Chains A and B, each alone.
Chain A
């Protein structure tokens, strides 16, 4: 009975989306409050789920009581519940952030309902154990992100939006085709059941075809190496609060699906697949970081860094040892927090000096040392400076690569870390240290009261605190990731818990 809880992260956002639409014509204070209540209740429900998962190891809900291979099964294991918790933290902070960083016009254009629906899609894809259902949640997430990216309708947003929409619809088609193949060959849509059938099949040719098709479609969503071009072209066009939730969550849903599908369904037997993933991840890391090095717009630098960091996560999957998978999960958790925080700080910088372009910025550290500190924590964490979370994440990835004798790829990861630091220092130098007479005079913040300033900084402070927390107590988080990776690598666990087969 208790496992009914895992439907909450899907039902709550839907409920609050309807509520925000219903109260749409009322004052913006009411909509904001409803949205915040929604965010808090989502956060509470995902904390509840993670506590339960800690006890029960896995929660399964057969929707409509249709048992496993026939109906849709929802499932929360360690990985899903961790992703749920992190994404609801991001949603909570973004809800606070939106109070100051989304304009009134966009609020009237159903900004909050769309955010809630986005969260419903994201949570649904974390929870589902049915591959067609995963496709449906993807579409829920995509449609609302299509709306969010073009919300407000500036010229730039349309140009970015067209690319985003087109490539994602194409990727969905690939996903659908691979689902069709899976259903045609294995006659099932439940991922665990498919895994059970794949395990006893020896038709490697078909398994390779399906898994590469899946890798292509997930690769587009998560911006892997040859398929990432849409990301730096489109992520920065939306208002900064939308960009930051996109940067935090959307590509990571792709990474989550890659991890889920390529540990549960298609696993170590397909070794060419995993060596391809390693190669692609190394190229993703390198291209992303080189792309970032030449950019001068903060948001575009950060967008390119999303790409390069995706490589770290997928290389952990590609190596496929327990340590490397744990490292990948640790990396995803750390990265979502840090990347969203960097976008938040970029928004604050823009608010101060009304620009994202590094040439136009300068001198922030002198007047606002606090913002400087809030930038430094996630920036150093992204680059992997101890004792912040990024250091442990990178350390684990590189250690697992060396342990598995991937010395070359391990050193690429090290090298990319240095270049990441270069980009972060570039932003620091240009935006925070450089003397710039062109930079706008900053009377914006003088008019604000102390509480108003605090609310502007609060989301960033929360995320920076979490980064510090992960950095100072990595032990707890690593144990959790390790447990998650042990679960993922033990297929029989899922067969037993979901299908009831031993």
Chain B
């Protein structure tokens, strides 16, 4: 299970980076989304996935018995999902407006702020 999750997140990372390096704005967005999924999956994988052992203390005993599933990574992922959802939603709107205003979705054409201007 862990191996599968690790493989999936590495594939997501690879495709995410590949998409991020494309020139089209749409593909960059897809790349960002894939990368955030990959990061969430890594948190999920890293926080001990143990089946059928929630982190509850039995009535009979006073302390929890190992091994148990860690509930915190889910909380982290939930936060991270919400944040990346917001950020990517904003990025989509920004890219769309940028496309409407600059009339291009080619990253290589969006270089005017980076150009060296000797004269105005």
Which A residues lie at the B interface, using CB under 8 A? 132, 135-136, 139, 142-143, 146-147, 150, 153, 155-156, 158-163, 165-166, 169-170, 172-173, 176-177, 179-181, 183-184, 189, 232-234, 236-237, 294-297, 355, 357, 359-360
Q: Is B39's CB under 8 angstroms from A237's CB? A: no
Instruction: Enumerate chain B residues within 8 angstroms of A233, measured Cβ to Cβ.
Output: 113-114
The 8 A CB mask of B35-50 against A (1 = contact, 0 = none) is 1101110110011000
Q: Which of B75-120 contact A (CB under 8 A)?
A: 76, 79-80, 83-84, 86-88, 90-91, 94-95, 97-98, 101-102, 107, 110-114, 116-120
- How far is the CB of A229 from the nearest CB of chain B, in Å? 8
Within the assembled complex, what's the spacing in Å between the Cα atoms of A136 and B86?
A: 12
Within the assembled complex, what's the spacing in Å between the Cα atoms of A165 and B20?
A: 13
Within the assembled complex, what's the spacing in Å between the Cα atoms of A189 and B87?
A: 23
Instruction: Enumerate chain A residues within 8 angstroms of B72, measured Cβ to Cβ.
Output: 183, 189
The residue on B at minimum CB distance from A176 is B39
Within the assembled complex, what's the spacing in Å between the Cα atoms of A232 and B111?
A: 12
Which B residues lie at the A interface, using CB under 8 A? 20, 25, 28, 32, 35-36, 38-40, 42-43, 46-47, 72-73, 76, 79-80, 83-84, 86-88, 90-91, 94-95, 97-98, 101-102, 107, 110-114, 116-120
Contact of B98 among A162, A236, A360 (CB under 8 A): A162
The residue on B at minimum CB distance from A294 is B116
Instruction: Enumerate chain A residues within 8 angstroms of B46, measured Cβ to Cβ.
Output: 180-181, 183-184
Among B28, B36, B43, B113: residue with most chain A CB under 10 A? B113
Q: Is A162's CB under 8 angstroms from B94's CB? A: yes
Within the assembled complex, what's the spacing in Å between the Cα atoms of A165 and B94?
A: 9
**19 contacts across the A-B interface (CB closer than 8 A):** A139-B83, A142-B87, A146-B91, A146-B94, A147-B90, A153-B101, A155-B101, A158-B97, A159-B98, A159-B112, A162-B98, A166-B20, A169-B88, A177-B42, A183-B46, A183-B73, A184-B47, A237-B113, A355-B120
Within the assembled complex, what's the spacing in Å between the Cα atoms of A153 and B111?
A: 17
Q: Is B43's CB under 8 angstroms from A180's CB? A: yes
Instruction: Enumerate chain A residues within 8 angstroms of B120, measured Cβ to Cβ.
Output: 355, 357, 359-360
- How far is the CB of A401 from the nearest CB of chain B, in Å? 32
Q: Is A166's CB under 8 angstroms from B80's CB? A: no
Q: Is B114's CB under 8 angstroms from A232's CB? A: yes
Instruction: Enumerate chain B residues within 8 angstroms of A183, measured Cβ to Cβ.
Output: 43, 46-47, 72-73, 76
Q: Is A132's CB under 8 angstroms from B76's CB? A: yes
Among B83, B87, B94, B118: residue with most chain A CB under 10 A? B94
The residue on B at minimum CB distance from A149 is B94
Instruction: Enumerate chain B residues within 8 angstroms of A150, measured Cβ to Cβ.
Output: 94, 97
- How far is the CB of A148 from the nearest CB of chain B, in Å? 12
The residue on A at minimum CB distance from B28 is A166
- How far is the CB of A389 from the nearest CB of chain B, in Å? 31
Q: Is A357's CB under 8 angstroms from B117's CB? A: yes
| Known contacts A183-B72, A355-B120; is-contact A166 B32 (Cβ 8 Å) | yes
| Known contacts A155-B102, A169-B87, A359-B120; is-contact A162 B95 (Cβ 8 Å) | yes
Within the assembled complex, what's the spacing in Å between the Cα atoms of A176 and B112?
A: 32
Among A177, A180, A237: residue with most chain B CB under 10 A? A180
Q: Across chains A and B, which 8 residue pairs bring their CB atoms closest together, nearest first?
A: A184-B46, A158-B98, A180-B43, A176-B39, A233-B114, A160-B113, A159-B110, A357-B120
